[in-house]
Every structure is written in structure tokens, then in C-alpha cells.
Amino acid sequence: MRTIFKRSMRTGEGSRRSWGRRTVIAFALAMLLPMGIAMVGAGAPAHAAFDPRGFDFWVNDPNGVPLKSRIFRAYDGNTSRVVYALDGLRARNDLNGWEIETNVAEALNRANINVVMPVGGENSFYSDWEAPSQFFGVDAGSTSGSTQKLPYRWETFITHQLRDALAQRLGFNPHRNGVFGLSMGGSAALMFAAYYPDQFSYAGSFSGYLNISAPGMKEAMRLAMLSQNGYNLDCMWGPPWDPAWLRNDPFVFAPRLIANHTRLYIAAGSGIPGYNDHVNNLLDLYNTTNAMGLEAVALANTKAFQVRLASLGYTNVIYDFPPVGTHSWGWWQDDVYRMIPSLSQSIG
């Protein structure tokens, strides 16, 4: 089990220059790695672990497209304590990565927390997109079976259609819920808590990209989406100068989280491999090396976000920066285990 380190951050000019250099170095490292699996919620290959305790819950999104979520009920049967678990960039259409790769649903259920796992939304950042993703009339995702004919409407879906259906059909409390996610889902979790405080009182980000306006981040996201079934970044929040980029940047909307007094859990590894990283062949070495670079970028983003909150005097947050950990599921599972006590105290 990794140890939680709470460190005070210097806010002077020297500290800002230091983190700027580290961000550039980390970004350069990630660019040197194969972009084919960049910025994804993956480390070791998926092993498709279906959990029979969960059940499918179908709800139409604002486009009228039926979307599946997986529901795992709290062991004590309550309907007041609810958390949403968000996936990474390579979110699949059959199961959420948290179900495929971890057993966090059972751990949360044992803590008497109901778990909602939205399924699908690769590359979406769980946002409402400005347009369907296309290049010269060719739909994104056409090679993966997840063709995007209509613009994503994940933000509206999770905060309206899914929220209302859970309340009406299962009796789930629509207020003071929790939300957490890894990588892409980490920044999305903070976005939901920032703009929908009535629904979300708690947010957790694991290896999230929390400073997406930093130099090089938009270019990295563009390459990552292209490599993941050919998605067009400009169709998400528009061109780089569009205000939607600032609206979805945790570094920018941090004051909203403070105004809401959202309880936060912010974690990222060092990029150094540890006991959850297993290298038995060349493919494992490839994945682990890539996961090291990705976590370096996530750590630089997360540390910048920590400095931002510290400069604003916000203390209602737990920081988890262990000495080891890469961009992979074993570490994110451990993050959830450590997060459960504070989550349990902050929802319902």
C-alpha cells in the first residue's frame, strides 16, 4: 500500500519556473513515446472481467441514443449514497474500465456506497461536443464499431437524463453524490463537481490532466485522439482559442470548486514502476515505458493544479503523491481504496 504524502507548495516565482521546466520535460518525454497508446486509461492489457453483481441500466441521451451504465448496489441496500466512476480515453462500449480491470465496485459496495459506471464515450472527456467528430466526411471510430454520427452529449446525459432516471427508477439520491475518474475521467470528475454542485459534493482525480491549457497539452490531446480511432479534437471544444477550452480546464475553473467547498481527492504517481507493474515480455516493457511517460505528464499537470489551489488558499483536499506508480489500473485501484474513507464521509 502506498503512503499518502501531503506537502506544502512554494508559490514564489522560482517554484513556478521549476514546475514549468518539469512540465516541458515531462511533455517532451511523452512525445518521444509511441503515441498509439498515449493518454489512455490503460497499462496492462484489458482482461474483460465481467462482474455478475452489476446490472445494465439503459437511458437515452439528449440525442435519443440509448447509453448503458453498470450499477452496483450498496451491500446495506441504501439509496442515499452514490458515486459515479468515470473511465479513461479508451473507454469501451461493453464495460467500464473500472469493472474490467479492478474490483473497486465491491470495495465501494462494502462501504455501503452505490456505484454508477457509465459505459462508452471514448475520447469524450464526458463533455458536450460542439460537433460530431469527422475528417472530410469520415466519421470517427469507424474502425472500432463506435462511430460517432451525432455530437457527444455526455455532460448533459450524466447531469440530467442519467441522474433523473436513477432517481425515478432506482430511488437513488440525486444530491451530494461523489464522482471520480482516471486520466480523461479525472479532469471530467472535477468539471462535474465545479458546474453541478447540487449533484456532486465530492470529486476524485487519479492521474488526471488538470492543466490542459499548459504548453503542449492541446497538441498531445490532438495526437492521442487521432491515434484512438481517428477523433478530431476540434469537434470537441472547438479550435484552441474557443472559450470552451477554458471552461473545461480544471486549472481555470478551480475557483468554482472552492466556492462550492467541494471535497477533493487528487492523486498522481511519480512515473517510477513498482509492484503493480509487471514486465514479463517486450509488450509489457512497451506498455510500462509508455505508462511511465504518461504518468510524468499527469504528475506535472496535477502538481500545477495543487499549486493553483494552494495559491487560492484551499485546504479541503487530500493530495496523494506516492513515490512510485505509473499510468495503469493497479495504481488507480489502490487510489480508490485509500479514497474510500473520505468519500464515505462526504456523500449522501
Instruction: Supply 184's cell numbers.
Output: 480523461
Q: Is 295 a catalytic residue?
A: yes
Are residues 202 and 193 in contact, defined by beta-carbon separation less than 8 angstroms? yes
pLDDT reported for residue 229: 82
Per-residue pLDDT of the chain (348 residues; tens, 9 = 90+): 343 333 333 334 344 444 444 443 344 334 333 333 333 344 443 345 889 999 999 999 999 999 999 999 999 999 999 999 999 999 999 999 999 999 999 999 999 999 999 999 999 999 999 999 887 555 655 444 455 678 999 999 999 999 999 999 999 999 999 999 999 999 999 999 999 999 999 999 999 999 999 999 999 899 988 888 889 999 999 988 999 999 999 999 999 999 999 999 999 999 999 899 888 898 888 888 988 999 999 999 999 999 999 999 999 999 999 999 999 999 999 999 999 999 999 999
What DSSP state is assigned to residue 68? Answer: E
Q: What is the DSSP string of 322-344?
A: -S---SSHHHHHHHHHHHHHHHH
> Which residue in 127, 155, 295, 328 is the catalytic one?
295
Q: Which of 127, 140, 146 is nearest to 212 (CA)?
A: 127
Question: From CA 201, how far away is CA 194, in angstroms rounded?
Answer: 9
pTM for the predicted model, two decimal places: 0.86
Question: From CA 194, how far away is CA 61, in angstroms rounded?
Answer: 21
> Which residue in 101, 122, 327, 328 is the catalytic one?
327
Q: What is the DSSP string of 279-294?
A: --SHHHHHHHHHHHHH
Q: Which domains does the chain have, with CATH numbers?
A: 13-123+161-210+247-346 (3.40.50.1820)
pLDDT reported for residue 138: 59
Q: Is 327 a catalytic residue?
A: yes
> Which residue in 146, 183, 187, 205 is the catalytic one?
183
Q: What is the DSSP string of 121-174?
A: -TT-TT-B-SS--EETTEETTTTTT----S--BHHHIIIIIHHHHIIIII----
CB atoms within 10 A of CB 179: 30
